[in-house]
Amino acid sequence: MKSEALALSKPMISLLEKNGITTPTPIQLELIPAIMAGRDVLAQSETGSGKTLSFAIPIIEKMQRRDGLKALVLVPTRELCTQISTEFIKFSQGKSLGITSVYGGVSISNQIKKMKMTNIIIATPGRLLDLLERRAVSLGEIQYLVFDEADRMLDMGFIKDIERILKHVPATRQTILCSATVSAEISKLSQKYLRNPKNVALASEVKPEFLRQTYYQTNPDQKMPLLIELLKHDRDLALVFCNRKHITAKLAKKLSAQGVHARCLNGDMSQPQRERVTADFRLKKFSVLVATDVAARGLHIDNITHVYNYEIPKDTESYTHRVGRTARAGKRGEAISLVATEEERKFFKQILFTHKGSITLKTVDGSSLPVIARESSDRPSKDRESTSTRPWKRKWQNLVRRKS
């Protein structure tokens, strides 16, 4: 990374260049010098802006293997935990730092074993509390504390867990808080836990002129055929959002049966399953990922050209987060919403009213949509049919008895 302002070590610059990183992003130019200087930071920045390296590089530069456990990064989801851990490992080559991911859904005993040799922990709040309650880890020497995607952690109800964790962390420390939005709650959190922070707010990576937003007013019967028809057009990678976990699995199965290579990502899957699906999608082994908001939060995947709202989100913030997964870094993308029920029309009307971008209505010719054969589970069963016809059978039998 050729920037004198960052004043990085030669080994770090070499690692960055080896990974194709030669020019710092705007947030890296702002944050790396501030963190290297020891300042607390409040950063408003979206996924994909380069914020992970903004805090990872200074922490790695300042640490040595012999230092012990000095850094803690708190994140809302397992996927984000593994992604950030990968970046720390990648850019600490040669320093032999102990970097440990701490999240649920996998063996806690393996995580406990690693604690004695750990310099940096990247953790979700719930599993870290489990380790603290078991006295498997001590945070008494933490010097660097990072909250990543703090807004999402608050949305997911982690504030009480965070406050419990912070009772174990020294008051004298360097704190970095990163959030896609800075709400009143985030401001309150920063005032409570940050000391004279440097405030950095970057414009959205999604440029309105590159993001096309459209919606279809359809009905429940046409919704699936319409999605299939849209997905069969040329595209790179597509994200399809649902509100409910069981719908993601059902939808991915139906899409695959119709020739659209799709897989799902939701909280009911085991952690190894989720990691495998995410890796395969990133490598383009399949082209359509059907996911819930929580499962997809924190994922940064390049070349997503289309985002579909198969189920309409219930608030504008969730809608903005979803559509922001495409049209990134100067690339064009499209966000398409399928509005099919009265409830969805109510939610989408509010989105149309409050969302800042332009969302265009498109029409659909129902006769041009593919015909999808109903699954056996969708058809009335013989038992249900026979039950419904029993009264008629009884009447006929009684009539026969009378005549005889």
- The least confident of 28-32, 344-348, 356-360 is 356-360
The average confidence (pLDDT) of the chain is 85
∠ at Cα 242 (220, 258), nearest 5°? 65
Tell me, what's the pLDDT at 4? 54
Closest to 115 measured CA to CA, from 93, 96, 100: 100
Does 208-369 match 4-201 at the fold level?
Answer: yes
Taken in order 155, 161, 164, 165, the sign of the CA dihedral is: negative
Tell me, what's the pLDDT at 156? 78
**Burial bucket for residue 105 (CB in 10 Å: 0-12, 13-18, 19+):** middle
Tokens of 237: 């990678």
**Is residue 216 scored above 90 in pLDDT?**
yes
**Is residue 31 scored above 70 in pLDDT?**
yes
High-pLDDT (> 90) share of the chain, %:
56
- E strands in 184-313: 198-201, 211-217, 237-242, 262-265, 288-292, 304-309
Tokens of 294: 């929580």
Tell me, what's the pLDDT at 128? 97
pTM above 0.85, yes or no: no
Taking residue 374's Cβ as centre, other Cβ atoms within 10 Å add up to 7
Q: Which residue has the tokens 């970095």?
A: 176
Q: What is the pLDDT of residues 268-306, one digit of tens each?
A: 888 788 888 988 998 899 999 999 987 666 667 778 999
Tell me, what's the pLDDT at 23? 84
The yes/no answer on whether domain 4-201 falls in CATH 3.30.360.10 is: no
Top CATH class, 208-369: alpha beta
For residues 330 and 17, which has the higher predicted lDDT (pLDDT)? Answer: 17
Rounded average pLDDT over 171-177: 96
Tell me, what's the pLDDT at 198? 93
Tell me, what's the pLDDT at 372? 75
CA distance 198 to 311: 39
Tell me, what's the pLDDT at 275? 82
Q: What is the pLDDT of residues 229-272, one digit of tens each?
A: 999 886 789 999 999 999 999 999 999 999 999 999 998 888 78
Tell me, what's the pLDDT at 113? 94
Tell me, what's the pLDDT at 228? 93
Rounded average pLDDT over 12-23: 88
The answer to whether 130 touches 107, Cβ cutoff 8 Å, is: no
Domain positions in the chain: 4-201, 208-369
Q: What is the pLDDT of residues 105-154, one digit of tens each?
A: 889 999 999 999 999 999 999 999 999 999 999 999 999 999 998 888 88
CA distance 322 to 213: 12
The answer to whether 198 touches 34, Cβ cutoff 8 Å, is: yes
3-state helix, strand, coil in the chain (%, to 5): 45, 15, 35
Name the band, by pLDDT with cuts 50, 70 and 90, for residue 324: confident
